[in-house]
C-alpha cells in the first residue's frame, strides 16, 4: 500500500506519425539539441492550454453570459434597426 499523498503514475508510450515538415518544425522548436520530442510537445501543449485559459477573463465570461441572457430574452436588434438607431444608411 502506498502512503497518503503519493501519486502512482505509469508512463504510457505511443508512436505517432508526423510529416517531415512537422518534424522539421519540432526540431526548430527544441530548446536544446537533445531535447526529446515528448518534451517539446509537452511544453508546447502546456503553453497552448495556458494561453487558451488566459484568453477569457472573468469579466469576458460575465459579458458573454449577459449577452446570451439578452438574446434569450429577445433583447436584440436587427441590422436594419441598429442602422436606423445609429443613423447609418
* 55 backbone φψ class: left, alpha, beta (φ>0; ψ -120 to 50): alpha
CB neighbour list of residue 30: distance below 8 Å, 6 or more residues apart: 40
pLDDT digits (tens, 9 = 90+) for 33-71: 999 999 999 999 999 988 877 777 889 889 999 999 999
pLDDT digits (tens, 9 = 90+) for 70-84: 999 999 999 999 999
pTM tops 0.85: no
Q: What is the distance between the alpha carbons of residues 57 and 64, in angstroms, rounded to a whole number?
A: 11
| pLDDT score at 37 | 93
| pLDDT score at 80 | 92
Amino acid at each position: 500500500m502506498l502512503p497518503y499523498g503519493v501519486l502512482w503514475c505509469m508512463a504510457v508510450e505511443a508512436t505517432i506519425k508526423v510529416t517531415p515538415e512537422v518534424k522539421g518544425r519540432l526540431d526548430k522548436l527544441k530548446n536544446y539539441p537533445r531535447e526529446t520530442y515528448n518534451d517539446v510537445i509537452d511544453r508546447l501543449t502546456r503553453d497552448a492550454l495556458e494561453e487558451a485559459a488566459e484568453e477569457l477573463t472573468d469579466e469576458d465570461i460575465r459579458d458573454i453570459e449577459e449577452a446570451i441572457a439578452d438574446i434569450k430574452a429577445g433583447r436584440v436588434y436587427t441590422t436594419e434597426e441598429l442602422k436606423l438607431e445609429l443613423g447609418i444608411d
